Amino acid sequence: MVKLPAPSLQIGFAMRLMSLNLKFLQPALRKAVSSVDIQELDKDLIAYAGKEYIARMAAKGLRGELLFATPCIIKNTPALLGYYRLLLGYSQKAFYNGTIGFSLFRKCEDGNVLTAAAGAKLNDACAELCNAGKVLLDGIGTDLISKALLHELSLLTLGPQLRGAASNTIGQEGIKSVFQIILSIVKNSVIMQDQASGIIVVENAAMRRVTIEFSSDPDIIITEKVSEKTTKKIVAIEIKAGGDIANIHNRLGEAEKSHQKAKLDGFAECWTIFNVDLDYAVAKKETPSTNRFYRLSCLANAGSEEFDDFRDQVIYFTGIPN
């Protein structure tokens, strides 16, 4: 039997792409150009890209701003910094990581805001973006440059960005699912919970408070308040909710790094939960620091053996009444 799952990811990408067209891609640039002083724009293009490169674009029937960033465009629509970043092939991580000087421009792309600090550096930023644009044009060659090609280059950079965002969403949903499963196990001992911030506090059989909470690295931690000054670190949980089997080894490697840090930080137990069909012996080779493995699909089934073991371990390590 041959059966494909629904292309849900692509449907989501299509919806996202429609909105990004009006924010970061050529339609957004066209809209901005329609509302700027064209003489000021042409002046900026000559000043920052140079007559030779603008003439090469014109020879192909292309406006210079399709490739070259100018201060008047970014001042009019700061979010279009994202257009030039995508076109030139820089990921958000590489572009805004602080090592190349563009981190103070992050609000341009994220919020369509040009801060005073960024505005003071805008001319330098546009000069550098235009230099990169010149290198791109030289590399492609005037004969091959086209409006369609420039759009396709932007999409090549955008694709991994969209996939990364989708993976983050899947990851967050996975963490929330595990949190809810734990809550279902400890609910009779809960004395406080704040699902918005991701915190559950239970009182165990020793009348001590145990906290289960979201954490950035690892994803969920369980700690026990032993005294006013002492907190015992009990369990660190890493959750890899993606269903891509091809990427699972990288994800388990990430879990191992997190668990190594957690053990150095004093956590006695490290658990890894993933969402693919992978033998636990294989997973153990990727993350030897993991004490227990669980499949997310099995934990979602309250009648499964893995759920029973997970429930028993949560009860044991929190110390709540069975």
Express each pLDDT in 94-118 by its tens digit: 999 878 889 999 999 999 999 999 9
The pLDDT, as a whole number, for residue 167 is: 62
Q: Domain limits of the chain?
A: 8-145, 169-318
- In tens, the pLDDT along 55-100 reads 999 999 999 999 999 999 999 999 999 999 999 999 988 999 878 8
Assess whether pLDDT exceeds 70 at residue 183. yes
CATH topology of domain 169-318: Trna Endonuclease; Chain: A, domain 1 (3.40.1350)
Stretch 17-31: mean pLDDT, rounded?
Answer: 85
Contacts of 286 (CB under 8 A, 6+ apart): 249, 252, 253, 255, 256
Assess whether pLDDT exceeds 80 at residue 168. no
Stretch 263-281: mean pLDDT, rounded?
Answer: 90
Residues forming beta bridges with residue 293, ordered by sequence position: 272
Assess whether pLDDT exceeds 90 at residue 256. yes
Q: Per-residue confidence at 176, pLDDT binned at 50, 70, 90?
A: confident
Higher pLDDT, 269 or 245: 269
In contact, 127 and 69? CB cutoff 8 Å: no
How far is Cα 196 from Cα 214, in angstroms, rounded to an integer? 10
- Number of Cβ within a 10 Å radius of residue 161: 18
Burial per residue of 202-229, b for 16 or more beta-carbon CB atoms within 10 angstroms, e otherwise: bbbeeeebbbbebeeebbbbbbbeeeee
Q: By percentage, how much of the chain surpasses pLDDT 70?
A: 96
Q: By percentage, how much of the chain surpasses pLDDT 90?
A: 64
- In tens, the pLDDT along 201-237 reads 999 988 999 999 988 788 899 999 988 888 999 999 9
How far is Cα 15 from Cα 292, in angstroms, rounded to an integer? 39
How large is the angle between the packed helices 122-140 and 38-48, nearest 10 degrees?
70
The rounded mean pLDDT for the chain is 89
